[in-house]
Amino acid sequence: MSDVFEYRVQARNPVMYLLLGAAIALTRYGLVHPGYRLIGCLGAAACAAILWRLVVNPKSGFRLTGKMIEVFGPAWHRIVPLRQVETVLISGAERGQTQCLLRLTDGSDLPVPATGWFRAETLAEEFQARGLRVLV
């Protein structure tokens, strides 16, 4: 299978850019109207925080190919060949928050982040299409 199945959650998204625009507007309002300097200061602090988050861009997610799964979080990154994956455990579908855990051949477990948006059936189909054993 040559198709890539990928999902990531990151700070660079439309909501963050809308928040940045609102913070810039507050900052400008505080600078133009002298009686509202506090609003301008709060807007500037919000601009700084939002810009920091956009520059650092913490992200988590996974990329599943025909030969490997790449799993990454805000401060870590790991690539695992599919031949090292013994079982894929999928849970939480009944609560609406799907979680996925890879049980590796060395006995360790590797959580797969950013799977909460998927139905358990969708994840199971993607892993099974690559020849992996899935337990739901």
Q: Which domain covers residue 49, as residue numbers? A: 10-56
Q: In the prediction, which pLDDT does 120 show?
A: 84
Statement to judge: residues 69 and 95 lie in one domain: yes
Q: Long-range pairs for 103-112 at CB < 8 Å and ≥24 separation?
A: 104/80, 110/71, 110/78, 110/80, 111/71, 112/62, 112/69, 112/71
Name which of 104, 105, 102, 107 is nearest 126 in CA terms.
102
Number of domains the chain is built from: 2
Q: What is the pLDDT of residues 79-129, one digit of tens each?
A: 999 999 999 999 876 666 788 899 999 999 999 887 877 888 888 899 999
What pTM was computed for the model? 0.71
Q: In the prediction, which pLDDT does 93 show?
A: 62
Q: In the prediction, which pLDDT does 118 show?
A: 81
The CATH number of the domain holding residue 79 is 2.30.29.30
Q: What is the pLDDT of residues 6-36, one digit of tens each?
A: 888 888 999 999 999 999 999 999 999 988 9
Is residue 1 a part of any domain in this protein? no
Is residue 5 a part of any domain in this protein? no
Is residue 29 a part of any domain in this protein? yes
Q: How far apart are CA 26 and CA 19, in angstroms?
A: 11
Statement to judge: residues 67 and 44 lie in one domain: no
Q: What is the pLDDT of residues 54-85, one digit of tens each?
A: 999 988 889 999 899 999 988 889 999 999 99
Name which of 40, 133, 38 is nearest 83 in CA terms.
133
